[in-house]
Homo-oligomer: A and B are copies of this chain.
Amino acid sequence: MARPLVVGVDLGGTKVATAAAGCDAAIVSRVTRPTEPERGVDAVVATIIESVEEAVAEAGATLDDVAGVGVGSPGPLNPEIGVVTFAPNLKWHDVPLGALMRQALGVPTYIENDANLAALGEARYGAGRGSKNMIYITVSTGIGGGLIFDGEIYSGSSFVAGEIGHMTIADEDEGPRCGCGNYGCLESLASGPAIARMARELIRHGEETMIVDLVQGNIELVTSEVVGRAALAGDAAAIAILGKAADYLGIGIANLVNILNPDTIVIGGGVSRVGEILLEPVREVVAERALKPAFEAVRIVQAELGPDAGVVGAVCLVLSKLKTRECRTGARS
């Protein structure tokens, strides 16, 4: 059978994750390589291209069998012309990634924002299966998002929609100044670093918590991941800190529910790994604050695909774009 494979690439600041999948988005081979952005644009592009070739070879196929390649990249980018406009982590400016890959591989290549692809992956094969209007929120070092309306990525008028983290939800006196320059951004109040900051403040105020032991007394080592571990072990202070983050997240999500009336909110990213300790108080805040008919229409769930969301989304992007019959009839989407 000709062209039965699609390849998804998740280009991150530290690693390039690549997977070859069938037309049902089931992954058949994986390749992970370090990104090493310090080696320059050409080297990173070569790494991506080699990863695709390797993943295809590992799947027992050749490039002739590949119907398309999808790449999720950080940063503002233009999916229509395949150019990564700006990716600070990679030190990329105006890199025509789509054209470079098409040239090297001879295969249709589509690029898209990484958060949008994680959203698409969760919508099609993750926690958002069956959803029509879904909002994906990633809570980690930053807070970002991807919007799926009517089953497809909504990327806005200049492809930068979904900046959920820079929603003002509080006054200037709440939390530190955000990286964007404002005060009161959701990201400055509920992201991983915000959770770590709240924990350090509590510890400095003499609060007794297991977190201190987990970092062997060095509170500079406190991260949201450590707070999460303590909370999962039942530590009251850690649970309270996550509750405070959930308050802020709940306010932001209630805003999104009121404005966009989604059927599903999927929460991913490192911080979400604590699961119900975070999600339950989030749901309570949203129930309390969102308008009733909008709240009744939405479920708020934890992401399911974890670190795979990006590559699965990249595969889904290709499946969405493909007109080739062999892949369309095979695709579950």
Contacts and interface: CB of A to CB of B under 8 A. Distances in A.
Nearest to A260: B161
A288 to B, nearest CB: 8
7 contacts: A132-B157, A145-B259, A154-B260, A156-B294, A158-B297, A163-B294, A166-B291
A298 B294 CA distance: 27
The oligomer's copy count stands at 2
Interface in A288-310: 289-291, 293-294, 296-298
A180 B254 CA distance: 12
A104 B147 CA distance: 41
Interface in A52-103: 76, 85
Contact of A258 (B166, B289, B293): B166
Interface stretch (A39-47, A168-176, A224-232, A320-328): A168-176
A158 B259 contact: no
A262 B156 contact: yes
A332 B328 CA distance: 36
B171 A171 contact: yes
Interface residues on A, range: 35 or more
The 3 nearest A-B residue pairs measured at CB: A156-B261, A161-B261, A158-B297
A173 B263 CA distance: 32
A14 interface: no
Nearest to A165: B258
Interface string A158-189: 11111110111111011000001010100000
A258 to B, nearest CB: 4
B254 A168 contact: yes
B133 A260 contact: no
B162 A259 contact: yes
A144 to B, nearest CB: 11
A209 to B, nearest CB: 27
